[in-house]
Structure 1
Amino acid sequence: MQNQPRKIELLAPAKNLECGLAAVNHGADAVYIGAPMFSARAAAGNSLQDIAELINYAHRYRTKVLVALNTVLTDEQLPEAERLIHQIYEIGADALIVQDMGILRLDIPPIELHASTQTDNRTVEKVKFLEDMGISRVVLARELTLQQIKEIHENTHIELEVFVHGALCVSYSGQCYISQAMTGRSANRGECAQFCRLPYQLLDSNGEVLVKNKHLLSLKDLDLSEHLAELIDAGVSSFKIEGRLKDADYVKNITAYYRQKLDAILENRTDVNPASLGKTRFFFEPNPEKSFRRSSTDYFLFGRKAAQSAPDTPKSLGEEIGRVKYIGKNFIEVITNKEINNGDGLCFLGKEDKLNGFHVNRVEGKKIYPGIMPEITVNSVLYRNQDHEFEKILKGNISERKIKVDMVFSETVDGFSLEITDEENISAKMEFPAEKTPANNPERVNQTIENQLSKLGNTIYELGKLDIKTSSTWFIPASQLNEWRRVTIETLDEIRAKAYKTRMRKPMQENVEFPLKKLSYLGNVTNQKAKEFYEFLGVEEVLPGFEVKAEEGVPLMFCKYCIKHALGWCPKEGYKVSFKEPLFLQHNEQKFRLEFDCKKCEMRVVFEN
């Protein structure tokens, strides 16, 4: 038996209903959106009514809606979470993205479960365990190499989802406690204070400043758009765009960009298919450099590289447009091959590499007249982080997503029938009694039928093939054809809605043991149900999570990214240390010790009291 083509999914973020609809309209095969409570973005919760509206719209294209309920929970929150999961299931969500294993001990409906990246999915052993727990999909750690992803795929039978675009956390996801320790705001509860984006001094143990006032933990943004085919070959099924706090314009541009990239790959392969229906056409040229962007990196996909961080600024630089050639009294002359427009936002790194910016008031050739003249020097590199004309384009009608349907128009004993069949081979057939009157212009009859039946502009469909089966050329008023088309399309919509089925959760395997006998605070156990879950699976000692009991002197960040390597100080690469260790990061009065595990190629960040 020949294997069915694997479904390849483009998964886009939705801050709210507007963003979710934009994602669907710009080609997403799936959308992930925050639950009303307990999603890992405190600022991106959504009402059940809005999620239900998104589900109803998305399912017409067979686009899935995944609901994020991926925070760790307290004992007091568990009953509310249980009720909420039932409600999410009842409105038709396709899956629930979770972190807290206590959820698996609740009385929940058979909704499909996905393991959030915050469950720290880095090894075959961990992913296999989650598969045995009935999890259908894991979101892999961003730090994995292509080879590691392939190894996980070859040794498990679970769907693999990877981030391909957007912001990077410097710590392994789910293993960052610095925000909780310093502010009481837990990243595992969706309230990250973003300590990784702050400026730091790097000190040696003598207090000597080695690096002054740089964003030493701030990473560039991920962009794997040139490696999608390789990821498909490695076994990835879902390609995730980060950004549940991003606006609709970001979602439109980035989703469209990746839709085009994936379509170009899928069109030339028979082993993989898109995971949803409909062809999306775009009336603009997507460009990720014109959306929020801290430069870009492929991170660890092909191993450790230099230039993974963005130490000068955690803000969006945008696209490089050129250099300053001359500075006049009220203008800046630039060397550029880009078109600059009134209203554009430009920026540059000024004194001490601080990011500065200004708005363009007027442009004459290569001369830019700012609204307020900035302190800038000749040869400064200029970036555009706000493209006024591109933003205007994104506000317009820039995409069209249509499902192809075939029609058969036939003659019956007492009239005519119209059958419409979609890409899934779902059909609606309606019969219409009508008098049959010979046409005065028989040569125009078939063209009239095609003209009227193909008018699908206000629907989600477009005409593929039309087969006209009549014994003679009958006169049929255009208004009648339009009405028959409308009624049959409405019937098809109803049949398609009833035909949609969500996948059910897989059963837990029996006699499975968790790989560890002792679970530290890194297990993120914050409620009794989660504790029972691990004890049931053979864990003998389950320590409370950091949010429940904050241990002193323990690492608050676990990073594959290494500051020493980023600065060219890696001892494995032959660097001879000229400073006294340990090294420290300092922000205002807060001081953190850096621990380097060169055997594992990892860095840990520990708070110094």
Structure 2
Amino acid sequence: MIHRSDLELLAPAGSWECARAAIANGADAIFFGLPKHNARLRADNFTEEDLPELMKFLHEHGAKGFITMNTLIFPAELEGAAEQLALLEASGVDGAIIQDLGLADLARKVAPSVELHASTQMSITSPEGLDFATGLLNLDRAVLARELSLDEIRRFTKVQGHTPLEIFVHGALCVAYSGQCLTSESLGQRSANRGECAQACRLPYEMVVDGKPLDLGERRYLLSPQDLAAVDLIPELIDAGVISFKIEGRLKSPEYVAAVTRVYRKAIDAHLDARTPRPDATDRYSLEMTFSRGLSTGWLEGTNHPRLTHGKFGKKRGVLIGSVAATGPGWVRIQRAPGQQEIPLQSGDGVVFDAGEDRNEEQGGRIWKTEGDRILFGKKHNKIVWKRVKPGQLIWKTSDPSLEQDIRKTWNDKVLDQQRTRTPLDWTVSGTAGAPLKLTDSATGLSVESDQPLEAARNRPLDHDVLHAQFERLGNTPFTLRKLDTKLEGELALPVSALNRMRRTMVTKLEEHTPEDAPQKAAATPLDAIAALSPEVHPPVTDQPSELSVLCRHPWQIDAALEAGVERIYVDYEDIRRMKDAVAQVRSANTGARIWLATPRIQKSGEQGYFKTLHRAEPDGILVRNLGGIEYFTKQSDTADLDTVGDFSLNVANQLTAKLLIESAGLDRVTVSYDLNADQSSQLIASAPPEWFEMTLHQHMPMFHMEHCAFCTFLSEGTSYKDCGRPCEKHVVQLRDRVGQLHTLQADVGCRNTLFNGRAQTGARYFNQFHRLGLRNYRIELLTESQVEAADTIAAYQALLERSANGESLWQDLGATEQLGVTEGTLTVLH
């Protein structure tokens, strides 16, 4: 039997008002951020000074507070992050939601009483990945990736004693896997892994197929998914073993937080108690009106690419009213579809006309008044060009001031005060004439005495009713008087003012009381913890030659690498069945070159077969891109002979993460995170043995990595790989952004799409900086280059590593030879 206390409704709070709105409407917990180290830096956020008062507020209402520290932590930030963890421990924060593996390990030492929750940005997508993360970090909870279906979630909970699971049930969906989006960083040095997402997925794109623009009509927002609304799936999710239901929206309004929390509270309670009504059409209306880009169940009901990302708009829509039947200056008549629910309209409501145009150019305004099926607009505040409003255009209701006003009433002081969870107190009062009156708390043994002695009563002696009336006045405190035991000898008297002072003193003592027998976990100081978890650093070795590895995505690129004498070749094929051919190609060349095969970037439950296929190909090593891959290739005895390299997608941004993956997980080498600029990369290299690291010097940055398949959605009539006809194998597809830049789109073995930056990124000008620190392992990654182009690129970087060319000249040469020039992208140091 599942009880309400077994489940948690978790709401977002970007401000005090949002926190109040969440708790008043039934949230069991909130998640929020501080000004640093959280993935929503644009939210109002809370200050360090707010923490004690906020946690007191939450605990008084029987709720918990979880802080988001869900960003990557750079070496220079470790001390500040550790000090923030110590603050969480001291402030009674219930849990920390963390992305960075090294920070999670640090949290265990500095804040041992704070629960450790793996953020969705840790990219936990399979039971194997969860096993690895839990074994490494002893997780208290995992927030799973949003791209999982119900069936996939059930596979996590089949294991006895599994890590408690949290999933997102409502709100905006990122089109890319959280923790795997490098778009903002690549295009503008604003990292999504650092709380600075520029939301490039919400912008319009043009699809170019085999060199020709594809006319998609009004579908311009090719990477913008509808919002998630799993309210109807709450019963299935509970039955699947999920214990925490998370609402997205730390950038949203308190009205949004209140409305959404209220509906999901209703849905959870209705499943647990058949007497509670289930959410209805009115509830769905409030969900759509407070914020919606269109609502869907996301990936929870399985793959349906066109349903999730239809491409028609990328910002708030609200509720569909109908279409324009007729129009004139200042008015439109509404035509509703047969069976369509009639949406209430009144003065002040906001509407927008959907002409299928660029959403920045669409028109709308506020209603002046309604006349039956006509809505009229006043001239004062509306600048609608009526000749652009045509019959057949859709009409959306985008705001409802009356609804917002009603929602705001749900978190007033009176409502919140009624919901406070008060500790029941059992008190004993005792005394004799000439001595102070003594008040004792039974649970703690605390006592207070009156500041004046008791006297014999002349008319109205103290009795149980009088004392209870004064001591139960606990008002705005976290306590309520449950029982009062009166032990007075004779008829005694004491001024009411003295009784009130006793009550207030006792409350103060109780609020400050910490049980002596409460177990206290030993917490390390921030600096001691960092020192204990950091690797030993030795002076760099300067006489070793540098090694260039080349990642190839086509056989002809392997030929170019072999002819250039490259000794370390990585292979990343969409069809992993061809990996065996790549191994044979390298071995048959007899050049002494060795080959590493790349895992997919994401591995879901049931996809261990990919790892087995790579292993059976008998490579020299594996380029591991996900946590499940680490679990598979480092924990099995028959894979022990394989050299394992952790790729960029493991997000190694500090020396603590590097040490975990090298010494604890058993990887042989890790790739420097693409979130680090050149100076931050240097700090990382200097903070650990440089032989641990490999630096990618040349690549087309993999910006979006997504479950969404744009090939299926816009180049087929199907809904998934089962019926799409595999257009990804037949066409070369690029997406053109707003500034005219073309970016290459490719699919992998799991039909997941990656959008690669059209401009190559080079770190050539930073090579000397890295070389002086002892770094000797460098990589270039090829994408669509021909054999000749690949050979030229390889030769240029070989000359750089051999010191026969310098980074500045290579930068200039690449800028001239690359079709779109080059950029320093994520490596750029901003001053």
Q: CA deviation at 1:470?
A: 11
**Map of 1:43 onto structure 2:** 42
**Map of 2:154 onto structure 1:** 150
Q: Which amino acid aligns with 1:556?
A: M
**Map of 1:278 onto structure 2:** none
- Paired residues, number: 584
Task: Give yes or no for contact 2:25–2:410 (8 Å, CA) kept in 1.
Answer: no
Question: Is 1:524 aligned to 2:524, yes or no?
Answer: no
**Map of 1:508 onto structure 2:** none
Q: CA deviation at 1:201?
A: 0.9
Aligned equivalent of 2:699, options 549, 552, 557: 552
Higher relative contact order (CA 8 A, sep 6+): 1
Question: Is 1:541 aligned to 2:559, yes or no?
Answer: no
**Map of 1:566 onto structure 2:** 713
Alignment of 1:239-250 (within 5 A): 239-250=245-256
- What SS does the aligned partner of 1:389 have? helix
Q: Which amino acid aligns with 2:657?
A: A
Backbone CA RMSD of aligned residues: 4.3
Task: Give yes or no for contact 2:60–2:420 (8 Å, CA) kept in 1.
Answer: no
- What SS does the aligned partner of 2:167 have? strand
Task: Give yes or no for contact 1:361–1:370 (8 Å, CA) kept in 2.
Answer: yes
Q: CA deviation at 1:575?
A: 4.9
Q: CA deviation at 1:329?
A: 2.8
Task: Give yes or no for contact 1:256–1:286 (8 Å, CA) kept in 2.
Answer: no
**Map of 2:690 onto structure 1:** none
Question: Is 1:259 aligned to 2:258, yes or no?
Answer: no
Q: 1:414 to 1:263 in 2, by over 3 A?
A: farther
Alignment of 1:429-444 (within 5 A): none
Aligned equivalent of 2:132, options 129, 134, 142: 129
Task: Give yes or no for contact 1:402–1:461 (8 Å, CA) kept in 2.
Answer: no
Task: Give yes or no for contact 1:347–1:385 (8 Å, CA) kept in 2.
Answer: yes
Task: Give yes or no for contact 2:88–2:111 (8 Å, CA) kept in 1.
Answer: no
Task: Give yes or no for contact 1:33–1:244 (8 Å, CA) kept in 2.
Answer: yes
**Map of 1:363 onto structure 2:** 370
Task: Give yes or no for contact 1:17–1:50 (8 Å, CA) kept in 2.
Answer: no
Q: 1:90 to 1:405 in 2, by over 3 A?
A: closer
Q: CA deviation at 1:478?
A: 10
Percent of residue pairs bearing the same amino acid type: 30
**Map of 1:337 onto structure 2:** 342
Moved more, 224-233 or 402-411: 402-411
* Distance in 2 of aligned mates of 1:8 and 1:367: 47
- What SS does the aligned partner of 1:80 have? helix
Task: Give yes or no for contact 1:48–1:88 (8 Å, CA) kept in 2.
Answer: no
Q: Which amino acid aligns with 2:374?
A: K
* Distance in 1 of aligned mates of 2:390 and 2:658: 60
Task: Give yes or no for contact 2:430–2:439 (8 Å, CA) kept in 1.
Answer: no
**Map of 1:96 onto structure 2:** 96
Aligned equivalent of 1:381, options 389, 394, 408: 394
Q: CA deviation at 1:109?
A: 3.3
Q: 1:3 to 1:572 in 2, by over 3 A?
A: closer
Task: Give yes or no for contact 1:407–1:418 (8 Å, CA) kept in 2.
Answer: no
Alignment of 1:388-399 (within 5 A): 388-398=401-411, 399=415
**Map of 2:604 onto structure 1:** none
**Map of 2:57 onto structure 1:** 57
* Distance in 2 of aligned mates of 1:50 and 1:337: 45
**Map of 2:680 onto structure 1:** none
The one-character-per-residue Cα deviations of 1:48-77 (angstroms, maximum 9, x if unpaired) are 112332112112233221111121122222
* Distance in 2 of aligned mates of 1:113 and 1:606: 34
- What SS does the aligned partner of 2:307 have? coil
Q: CA deviation at 1:168?
A: 0.4
The one-character-per-residue Cα deviations of 1:222-241 (angstroms, maximum 9, x if unpaired) are 11111222212212111111
Alignment of 1:168-567 (within 5 A): 168-211=173-216, 214-267=220-273, 287-305=286-304, 306-334=306-334, 337-352=342-357, 354=359, 355-371=362-378, 372=382, 374=384, 375=386, 376-398=389-411, 399-400=415-416, 401-403=419-421, 458=476, 514-516=631-633, 517-536=644-663, 537-548=665-676, 551-553=698-700, 555-567=702-714
Question: Is 1:112 aligned to 2:119, yes or no?
Answer: no
The one-character-per-residue Cα deviations of 1:194-242 (angstroms, maximum 9, x if unpaired) are 1111101112113132425610110011111112222122121111111
Q: 1:467 to 1:82 in 2, by over 3 A?
A: closer
* Distance in 1 of aligned mates of 2:396 and 2:421: 40
Alignment of 1:78-89 (within 5 A): 78-89=78-89
Q: 1:52 to 1:578 in 2, by over 3 A?
A: closer
Query: Runs of 5+ in structure 2 lacking a partner?
Result: 276-282, 524-626, 634-643, 677-695, 760-831
Q: 1:514 to 1:380 in 2, by over 3 A?
A: same
* Distance in 1 of aligned mates of 2:467 and 2:7: 37
The one-character-per-residue Cα deviations of 1:519-575 (angstroms, maximum 9, x if unpaired) are 111111122222122111210010111123575135322211112333444484445
Query: Runs of 5+ in structure 1 lacking a partner?
Result: 270-283, 506-511
TM-score (norm 2): 0.61
* Distance in 1 of aligned mates of 2:139 and 2:503: 43
Question: Is 1:583 aligned to 2:765, yes or no?
Answer: no
* Distance in 2 of aligned mates of 1:12 and 1:203: 41
Q: Which amino acid aligns with 1:108?
A: V
Q: 1:436 to 1:385 in 2, by over 3 A?
A: farther
TM-score (norm 1): 0.82
Q: 1:514 to 1:426 in 2, by over 3 A?
A: farther
Q: Which amino acid aligns with 2:670?
A: V
Q: CA deviation at 1:485?
A: 7.7
Task: Give yes or no for contact 1:60–1:497 (8 Å, CA) kept in 2.
Answer: no
Task: Give yes or no for contact 2:712–2:726 (8 Å, CA) kept in 1.
Answer: no
Task: Give yes or no for contact 1:15–1:244 (8 Å, CA) kept in 2.
Answer: yes
Task: Give yes or no for contact 1:343–1:360 (8 Å, CA) kept in 2.
Answer: yes
